[in-house]
């Protein structure tokens, strides 16, 4: 895998003082093609310590779910990847890690606004119906367990203009009218990431699942959705199964949906 580093001089923000391990080691760049790709290369080369983060002010090839690109204006947002080694998790528990990271990002954004902040399954973070953040987790498995994980996180902080096609994109600044201190945003994120990860590591899966459902967008609301072929149907989200599939009550009865099986109609 070849990773394009557009500019290699490191750029430092305030040192992290609020965590035990998340963010204690950081690689900071004005620009990278992808922080997730850089993290993957780093794991292969030197097995960095757990909690290492790769931060770039701009990504030329940032990615979201389903291969979608992630657009972020340089210097206005927070884009990073976190390296973890959740070897205590079985491969079938991957979505529990997903929930932990999504909750951490949700809680971070909630500290900057009084508006409701929800998780749109599986891991987009919304203020109202505007997407403020996305998460992309890449796991490497070893036998029945997870060997390493890279959690790519993008938070739209101060960006005020988006491409015309991104009709539901938003930022904290657009929703609150206030500029966001990126240092403060970063510190809050590291603190919540560590807190939820340690809860997961210490066996708090039931607490994590309950919190995820409590903040889940459109939970127990009858709404319209679309199948991949465009056919619209009515459904009510009732929960998440252990593998991370969306549980829904539809006109034809209970159904399970994977990420490619339906589209939200916002």
- Inter-residue contact 102 to 125 (CB < 8 Å): yes
Asked if residues 159 and 153 have their Cβ atoms less than 8 Å apart, the reply is: no
- Tell me the helix, strand and coil percentages in the chain, rounded to 5: 25, 30, 40
Residue 15: pLDDT band by 50, 70, 90 thresholds? low
Three-class secondary structure of residue 95 per DSSP = helix
Q: Which residues pair with 155 in a beta bridge?
A: 78, 133
Q: Residue 266: what pLDDT?
A: 85
pLDDT tens per residue, range 128-170: 999 999 999 999 999 999 999 999 999 999 999 988 777 789 9
Domains of the chain: 26-214 (3.30.930.10), 222-264 (2.30.30)
pLDDT at 4: 39
- The pLDDT assigned to 115 comes to 97
- Residues 4 and 114 sit within 8 Å (Cβ to Cβ): no
Q: Using one digit for the tens of pLDDT, what is the confidence trace for 34-92?
A: 999 999 999 999 999 999 999 999 987 655 554 555 566 888 999 999 999 999 999 99
Q: What is the mean pLDDT of residues 189-199?
A: 98
Quote the pTM value: 0.91
How does pLDDT run across 91-137, given as a tens digit for each residue?
A: 999 999 999 999 999 999 999 999 999 999 999 999 999 999 999 99
Which residues, at least 6 apart from 159, have a Cβ–Cβ distance to it below 8 Å?
72, 73, 76, 77, 171, 173, 174
Cis preceding linkage at 229, omega within 30:
no
- Please state, in angstroms and as integers, the Cα–Cα distance from residue 197 to each residue in 12, 98, 226, following that order: 25, 10, 34
What is the C-alpha R_g of the chain?
Answer: 18
What is the spatial distance between Cα 65 and Cα 79, in angstroms, rounded to a whole number? 15
Mean pLDDT for 18-39 is 94
Tell me, what's the pLDDT at 70?
53
């Amino acid at each position: 895998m070849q990773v394009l580093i557009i500019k290699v001089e490191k750029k430092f923000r305030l040192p992290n003082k609020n965590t035990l391990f998340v963010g204690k080691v950081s690689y900071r760049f004005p620009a990278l093609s992808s922080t997730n790709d850089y993290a993957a290369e780093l794991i292969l080369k030197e097995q960095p310590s757990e909690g290492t983060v790769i931060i770039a002010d701009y990504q030329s090839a940032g990615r979201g779910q389903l291969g979608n690109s992630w657009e972020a204006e340089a210097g206005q947002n927070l884009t990073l990847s976190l390296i973890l080694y959740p070897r205590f998790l079985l491969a079938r528990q991957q979505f529990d890690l997903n929930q932990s990271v999504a909750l951490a990002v949700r809680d971070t954004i909630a500290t900057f606004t009084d508006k409701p902040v929800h998780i749109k399954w599986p891991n987009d973070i919304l203020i109202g119906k505007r997407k403020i953040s996305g998460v992309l987790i890449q796991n490497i498995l070893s036998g029945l367990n997870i060997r390493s994980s890279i959690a790519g996180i993008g938070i739209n902080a101060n960006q005020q203009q988006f491409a015309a096609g991104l009709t539901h994109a938003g930022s904290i600044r657009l929703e609150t009218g206030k500029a966001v201190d990126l240092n403060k945003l970063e510190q809050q994120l590291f603190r919540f990431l560590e807190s939820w990860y340690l809860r997961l590591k210490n066996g708090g899966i039931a607490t994590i699942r309950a919190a995820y459902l409590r903040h889940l967008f459109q939970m127990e609301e009858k709404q319209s959705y679309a199948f991949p072929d465009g056919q619209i149907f009515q459904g009510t989200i009732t929960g998440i199964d252990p593998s991370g599939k969306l549980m829904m009550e539809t006109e034809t009865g209970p159904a399970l949906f994977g990420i490619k099986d339906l589209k939200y109609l916002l």
